[in-house]
Structure 1
Amino acid sequence: MKKTGMIGLSLSLSLGLLANYAPEAMATGKQVKQQSMLQPIVDQVDVIAHRGASGYAPEHTLAAYEKAIQMKADYIELDLHMTKDGQLIAIHDSTLARTTNAEEVYPDRAPWRVKDFTLAEIKKLDAGSWFNKAYPEYAKKQYVGEKIPTLQEVIDFVKKKDPKVALYIETKDPDVYPGMEEKLVEILKKNGYLKKGKVIFQSFSEASLRKLQHLVPEDIPLIQLYSPDMIQGKNLDDVFNRAAEYAEGVGPDKSLVTPAFIQEAHERHMVVHPYTVNTQDEMVEQLSLGVDGMFTNYPDQLVELNKKPYISHGAASGEVADTSAVLWTRTSQPAKVRFEVSEDASFKKAIVKTKKATSEHDLTVQVKVTGLKPDTIYYYRVQALPGSHQVSGRFKTAPAENELKPLTIVWGGDTGGQGQIPPFKSFAAMADLKPDFFLFSGDTIYADNATPAVPNPPSKNIEDFWAKYKENRTDPNLRKLLQSTSVYAIWDDHEVTNDFSGPFEPLASTGFRAFTDYWPILDERSSSGKLYHKFSWGDTLDLFILNNRSYRDPDTKPDGQDKTMLGQEQLEWLKKELLNSDAQVKLIASSVPISIPTGKPNARDGWANGNNINPDDKTGYEHEFAEISKFIMENKMKNVYFVTADVHYADIIQYDPDHNGTVDYRELVSGPIGAGLGQPSTLDPTFGPDQLYAESGFFNFGVLKVDPGLKQVTVEIRDENGTVHFHHDFPIE
């Protein structure tokens, strides 16, 4: 049977995790509970000093333990080996060579295994000088001559310095040291440390932990350590079911911690303590995933994050124009946020903006920066005061009006649904292309699908929707992309619920609120609720972002002259802006496709009615799109491209609605970035589609390059590794 003790676990938190800072809770004084597994199940995130404060002092010496105690670590970690004469000592390696001068003192005793030396022989060794040579920035004279301590010496030392600090003990190579567990338990019991709150046991050895399970009180936690090769290729459910038989938690290599890993642990009320997390950026990443503690060589860094606000889910720039941009970030608690923007990466001369992150917007904050220079790379950094943690990024402003400059765009959609959860490799492949901007083409979350953020879908309240965005922001690949270029984000149906029509969906306003909280969007767009907008990249390209959700009639309504997806105001706006555009390329961002039937029979969600599939299908929105198509042709507009997603496969289509042999516009479809994989369907023939390419069965994104000098538009479809599956050069007419 599994031991019943837990590490500071609050049952109410484990059954329904508290939404810290939820505005409803603050207003009513009631606890608002949230489904998300991606939050700690303990009262505090434990700071575990890995081998002591081993970043600052020689590992597993009293100097390292003292520094950890001074830095207010909750635990000091001890790796235990046993000497030839049966003494337990604190050292990580099974040999003495790396951290002592054993080779000099005992030149003829290679390979210097701990088990071959008596304690008296080991006490002759210098365990500190190596550190001064390896880390001169932290070198101290007193480290010379430091000794390897016994377990008893460590206990005596901790009792003297701060008896509140607990021990986190690993049995190293227990199969090499018969009787290790019994001796360990005996020493701890004699010193009053064999009790809850004084010690935790960990090991890579399941056998050692199972042995300890029968030797120690039930309420003392056992932690199963995992290296990547211990889990690779295995079913996580099976791994955790086995560990739950004897352990109260897991200690994974930090690379193993994903939303799925956290969910498997937290569903079983098992804590997660990753190792070894040594930078604040890495610590923040682990905190965003909801870990319950961390092993670190630098405990002071994690102690600060536990006490002071920090940037919790990266940063982003968006809605970039020639002289302005919107910056976004999120903090860990209410705080004043400082944004600095500069042409110089050293920030010697910077524009400074400050704004308060509040619970009303789930601690997200946005500022608009104006007075920028066109066609210029800007660097920015953000900081939640008075914390020291900073996050930095960069973006490029658009060229000035009338200028023609080359442009590279990446686009894609459909992220975090149908069983797919972070991380997503495509975002890293996008970032590697160094695009001028990223167009996120809808379904930026799947609010109605089960994921660790909302394991019991659909999302029902604002906390659920916020949790979905935070979940995707745990992806280091997405943060890399968002911090390396700007983004223009579009919402589609899964930001609320599948195939919804805004005016008729009760949760539309909640989903809209969360969407505008988590993407850098101009205040004038979010406050008006419109979302549709035009952005210009000089005279190279005009980007027309449509809002395909807020104004539409129900999908089930029969199509006709009075049926709308865009609403009359948005439709007239689109025609006016297209007519006024003198950009070489006109890019219309629609979250739904033109001639690929989507939705369900008699409830078509995209423009096409799909009557080629079902002749009796009277739905779709073809009458409205026919008006747009006719407007493009009547005004002899050239180089018009529709960029869409939603169907979960890649498709490149060109259109000849009047069947005169001339291409009037094209449609570029990519996706999914990370969701279920779709299959190409038969195109609805209404607008004369000619399919140049269609491929499914892989995660993908699109690349669009405009080269005014060559008078050429290049379109590519790439897989999640960046490999090109489709490439075509279209002339700029």
Structure 2
Amino acid sequence: MGRIRRSIAAGVAISAVATVAVAGRFGVAEADGRDGARPLVIAHRGASAHRPEHTLSGYRLAIETGADYIEPDLVQTKDGVLVDRHENALSQTTDVASHPEFAARKTTKSIDGVPVTDWFSEDFTFAELRTLRAIERIPGIRPDNQAFDGQDVIPSLEEVIDLAQEHGVGVYPETKHPTYFASIGLPFDEPLLKTLAAKGLDRRGSKVFVQSFEPGILERLRKRTKAHLVLLVNGSGRPYDFTASGDPRTYADLVAKKGLEWVATFADGIGPSTSWIIPVDASGKTLPATTLVKDAHRANLTVHPWTFRPENTFLPVNYRLGDPASPVYARAQGDAAGWLRALLATGIDGIFSDDPALAVAVRSTL
């Protein structure tokens, strides 16, 4: 495997190191993030607090700043190529709206039961998508990231895996809307399994986790691969494949003890919203931690919650800093290091982070 320099980009390093001060130590990281290993830092969509998400430049920055895994969200093209986008709707993360040649492709579809008007990945060939360029999805929170708009093409899953393997880090792909894609004749199973096999990532212990908010696809994949599988758990509601099939269970049912035992029959871990681990009250302040991490460990499941990000908007109220009346309060950085320390204290095995440099810096002091 390749080696990378673990240097931290100057501006990122200053904000990361300045916020950390704790003692202690974890052991060497293992592929599954369990058994006494240090918690994994999973670069959520890349270094997405510093670059437009799901771009090779964002993943490179995440790797340079010490991430253990990089995370691509997967959608499909008309010709069945797995590509890396937050959603199959393209307008928030690409410059598709500025391409007059594609104006007629804007349409309305029902995605997981919700009407969405946009341009969609499955209406474009891979070659056509490569003519688009990535843009910052939340410019109001990260206006500086707009300086990188237009610099990156949409990468394929193969390209993301190649980058990860070149530098010796893992890859953590998510299948987006698998029930929807299967309904239009583009199921994820075959192209994903074929790609993992081609890259040597279909064996137990491979540096890959495959994740989904829908249990159904993970149940199918379990029968055909030994790669690590993770069920994502939203903060409310239920999996869309449950809705489609009439299964009344909710995500709350799946994080109960019996639910976790069922999840463990096909998955190796869960990726819950942080609210399942440290809930917040009606005012947004944290409450005592739940027993979810211990319950999941008893079921032999790893726990990788999402998402750690430094701006006040994404922090519990009691970890926010600054004047709420300030026009920049929402995007100002709060006590993110303190929030991550609280999460790590619950015994989690890893964390999805939009700012992997900060997460690595906090972890290095434990």
TM superposition score normalised by structure 2: 0.68
Q: CA deviation at 1:131?
A: 6.7
Structure 1 vs Structure 2: percent identity of aligned residues? 32
For residues 172-321 of structure 1, the aligned pairs below 5 Å read: 172-178=176-182, 179-195=187-203, 196-217=205-226, 220-229=227-236, 230=238, 231=250, 234=253, 236-257=256-277, 258-278=289-309, 279-309=336-366
Q: Deviations over 1:91-121 (max 9, x none)?
A: 1112101111112212222221111111112
SS in 2 for 1:177: helix
Question: Are the counterparts in 1 of residues 264 and 300 from structure 2 also a CA contact under 8 Å?
Answer: no
Residue 59 of structure 1, CA deviation: 0.4
Q: Which amino acid aligns with 1:216?
A: T
Residues 129 and 40 from structure 1, CA distance in 2 versus in 1: closer, same or farther, beyond 3 angstroms?
closer
Which 5+ residue runs of structure 1 have no aligned equivalent?
A: 1-19, 22-38, 310-733
Output the CA distance in 2 between the equivalents of 1:232 and 1:186: 30
Change in CA separation of 1:281 and 1:108 when aligned onto 2, cut-off 3 Å: farther
**1:58 and 2:52 aligned:** yes
Q: CA deviation at 1:284?
A: 1.2
Supply the distance in 2 between the matched residues of 1:281 and 1:171 (Cα, whole angstroms).
31
Provide the C-alpha distance between the structure 2 equivalents of 1:119 and 1:298, rounded to a whole number of angstroms: 29
Q: 1:94 aligns with which of 88, 91, 102?
A: 88
Alignment of 1:156-555 (within 5 A): 156-160=162-166, 162=167, 164-178=168-182, 179-195=187-203, 196-217=205-226, 220-229=227-236, 230=238, 231=250, 234=253, 236-257=256-277, 258-278=289-309, 279-309=336-366
For residues 158 and 149 of structure 1, the distance between their equivalents in structure 2, rounded to whole angstroms, comes to 13
TM superposition shift of 1:194:
2.4
Could you give the per-residue CA deviations for residues 481-513 of structure 1, whole angstroms, max 9, x where no partner exists? xxxxxxxxxxxxxxxxxxxxxxxxxxxxxxxxx
Give the Cα–Cα distance (whole angstroms) in 1 for the partners of residues 230 and 137 of structure 2.
31
Deviation of the 1:67 alpha carbon:
0.6
Change (3 A) 1:66 1:131: farther
CA apart distance, 1:145? 3.1
- For 1:97 and 1:128, the matched residues in 2 are separated by 9
CA displacement at 1:129 relative to structure 2: 6.0
**1:651-690 superposed matches below 5 A:** none
Count of equivalent residues: 268
- 2:172/2:211 contact within 8 Å kept: yes
Query: CA offset at residue 157 of structure 1?
Result: 2.6
Cα deviation, 1:607-641, whole Å, max 9, x if unaligned, reads: xxxxxxxxxxxxxxxxxxxxxxxxxxxxxxxxxxx
Q: CA deviation at 1:270?
A: 1.1
Q: Secondary structure at the match of 1:240?
A: helix
* Structure 2 counterpart SS, 1:202: strand
Compare the two structures and name the one with the higher helix fraction. Answer: 2
Q: CA RMSD in A?
A: 2.3
Q: Could you tell me how far 1:211 is from its partner in structure 2?
A: 1.0
8 Å Cα contact 1:133-1:139 kept in structure 2: no
Conserved? CA contact 1:274–1:295, under 8 Å:
yes
- For the residues of structure 2 that align with 1:270 and 1:124, how far apart are their CA atoms? 41
**Alignment-mate amino acid for residue 221 of structure 2:** L
Deviation of 1:282 after TM superposition, in Å, equals 2.2
Q: Is the 8 A contact 2:53 2:137 kept in 1?
A: no
| Counterpart residue identity of residue 305, structure 1 | V
Decide whether aligned partners of structure 1 residues 159 and 40 sit closer, same or farther in structure 2, where only a CA change above 3 A counts: closer
Partners of 2:365 and 2:128 in 1: CA distance: 46
| Matched AA of 1:155 | I
Partner deviation per Cα, 1:549-604 (whole Å, 9 max, x = no partner):
xxxxxxxxxxxxxxxxxxxxxxxxxxxxxxxxxxxxxxxxxxxxxxxxxxxxxxxx
CA shift digits 1:505-537 (9 cap, x unpaired)? xxxxxxxxxxxxxxxxxxxxxxxxxxxxxxxxx
Secondary structure in 2 matching 1:115: helix
The match for 2:61 among 64, 67, 70 is 67
**In the alignment, residue 170 of structure 1 is paired with which amino acid?**
E
Partners of 1:128 and 1:147 within 8 A in 2: no
Give the TM-score normalised by structure 1: 0.35
Task: Identify the structure with bigger relative contact order (alpha carbons < 8 Å, sequence gap 6+).
Answer: 2
| 1:107 and 2:113 correspond | no
Residue 357 of structure 2 aligns to a residue whose secondary structure is helix
CA drift of 1:251 comes to 0.4
Higher strand share: 1
What one-letter code is carried by the residue in structure 2 that aligns with 1:307? S
Distance 1:47 1:233, change over 3 A: closer
Is 1:58–1:127's contact at 8 Å kept on the other side of the alignment? yes
